[in-house]
């Protein structure tokens, strides 16, 4: 971020909420025509499978935004049709919204932002958690189903889904959060698009 602030005329926004989603971005942002580029790094919170109780808490905390984008009956249908995998053999998991909900309600809005640069998600290495203190759900690879759909429907993207295991361990500290080397990689890819 510092590189862009020093070298470009930048407005930046870091969501004050604990979990930042693409829904937060779409809810807060409506002036995309006045920017040459919008750099958006969201997705992993939306796509990640999480235990139903934690997902329900996340939705409760974002209730106004969630039901602004999704009709109640489609949201309820999605939440009932959870993944077969359980977290720690205890609780079923699900993502914030389904692939269909993303295709119908999220992607059309992002697709129309011609100046958008979306940073995708990398694969998650099973058996390596880095400095993450807990255990990730066994079905974390579901992230890539969403990621592929977003990459396909947004024109300017930084695709990090092809990182090797060694690159993931170099560029992230826990399969998700970027290291300084990861941030430098993303910076270089964004600069290529901008230029």
pLDDT at site 111: 92
| pLDDT score recorded for residue 32 | 65
Model pLDDT, residue 183: 96
Q: What is this structure's pTM?
A: 0.92
Residues of the chain with pLDDT under 70: 31-33
Question: CA 88 → CA 11, 22, 111, 136, distances in Å?
Answer: 41, 27, 37, 9
What pLDDT does residue 2 have?
A: 84
CA 11/CA 32 separation, integer angstroms: 12
Structural domains of the chain in order of their starting residue, each with its CATH number: 2-49+98-194 (3.40.50.1110)
Structure tokens at 133: 């203190």
Residue in the structure block whose two tokens are 């290291």: 179
Q: Is residue 187 a contact partner of residue 149, using CB atoms and an 8 Å limit?
A: no
């Amino acid at each position: 971020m510092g590189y862009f602030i020093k070298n470009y005329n930048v407005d930046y926004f870091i969501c004050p909420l604990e979990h930042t989603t693409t829904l937060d971005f779409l809810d807060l942002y409506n002036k995309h025509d006045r920017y040459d580029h919008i750099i958006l790094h969201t997705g992993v919170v939306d796509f990640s499978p999480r235990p139903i109780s934690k997902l329900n808490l996340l939705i409760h905390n974002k209730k106004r935004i969630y039901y602004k984008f999704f009709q109640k009956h489609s949201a309820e249908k999605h939440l009932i049709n959870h993944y077969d995998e359980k977290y720690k053999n205890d609780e079923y998991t699900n993502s914030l919204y389904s692939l269909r909900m993303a295709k119908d309600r999220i992607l059309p809005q992002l697709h129309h932002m011609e100046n958008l640069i979306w940073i995708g998600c990398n694969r998650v290495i099973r058996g390596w958690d880095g400095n993450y203190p807990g255990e990730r759900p066994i079905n974390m690879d579901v992230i890539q189903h969403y990621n592929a759909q977003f990459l396909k429907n947004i024109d300017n993207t930084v695709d990090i889904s092809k990182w090797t295991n060694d690159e993931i361990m170099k560029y992230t500290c826990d399969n998700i959060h970027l290291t300084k080397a990861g941030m430098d990689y993303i910076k270089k890819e964004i600069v290529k698009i901008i230029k």
